[in-house]
Amino acid sequence: AQSVTQLDSHVSVSEGTPVLLRCNYSSSYSPSLFWYVQHPNKGLQLLLKYTSAATLVKGINGFEAEFKKSETSFHLTKPSAHMSDAAEYFCVVSDPANTGKLIFGQGTTLQVKP
Amino acid sequence: DTGVSQDPRHKITKRGQNVTFRCDPISEHNRLYWYRQTLGQGPEFLTYFQNEAQLEKSRLLSDRFSAERPKGSFSTLEIQRTEQGDSAMYLCASSLAGNNSPLHFGNGTRLTVT
């Protein structure tokens, strides 16, 4: 069965410093992986997706993620945090059957301090 | 881009009452998904439709829950005889068919059962 584990429930950084949100996946197939962001009282927004092309994936708002098969990881990074990045982030794996169904991790709350 | 819209945004109901939520997907999207999100957790899959056909239902979807998409456009999710444990955010998403088509989420309906 597909699953993802987000290793930190809460991450706090200062504005202008790097962001690292960690995610490990479990999959018996070559997975499709995503990161979604959820701001308070807003819908989930797709940040980026990996679908077996380039292992380094660039997303919106300066975020990137690197797929590492040997480590079964898909960590999300950003070189410099902005106050507006404060939100809940979800690492997501898709169902291998052609349903488009997504399986979400527990989420990581990113706090950005001025 | 009108996005995915959900109505109502908030619903407060008393235990034992029935509630119905509506989701209007992006017009050209033939897949529609319902998820439930409780506080501090990632969204959990409930069910999905391709056009008007309901193709999969999660075990989370008890007999008190029913979803429809009668004309392959908007969808409704009904909960009968609500319980306090039904309190959650109910999220709707839509996509084109295809395993790597991104899901577009609505802002959700927050249900509180008193």
B-chain CB neighbours of A35 within 8 Å are: none
Q: What pLDDT score was predicted for residue A48?
A: 94
Q: Which of B44, B42, B46, B38 is nearest to B88 (CA)?
A: B38
Mean pLDDT (chain B) is: 93
Q: What pLDDT score was predicted for residue A42?
A: 82
Going by DSSP bridges, is the β-strand pair A10-14/A108-113 parallel, antiparallel, or unpaired? Answer: parallel
For the cut 80, the answer to whether the pLDDT of residue B2 exceeds it is: no
Tokens 């991104």 locate to B102
B58, amino acid identity: S
Instruction: Using CA coordinates, name the residue in chain A closest to B96.
Output: A100
CB-nearest partner of B55 from A32, A99, A104: A99
Q: What mean pLDDT comes out for the span A1-30?
A: 93
CB B91 within 8 A of CB B108: yes
Q: What mean pLDDT comes out for the span A24-47?
A: 89
Task: Please answer yes or no on whether B99 and A98 come within 8 Å at the CB atom.
Answer: yes
Q: What pLDDT score was predicted for residue B1?
A: 54
Instruction: Categorize the per-residue pLDDT at A99 as very low, low, confident or very high, splitting at 50, 70 and 90.
Output: confident
Q: What pLDDT score was predicted for residue A96?
A: 79
CB A10 within 8 A of CB A72: no
Task: Please answer yes or no on whether B91 and A32 come within 8 Å at the CB atom.
Answer: no
CB-nearest partner of A44 from B48, B95, B105: B105
Q: What is the pLDDT of residues B39-51, one digit of tens each?
A: 889 999 999 999 9
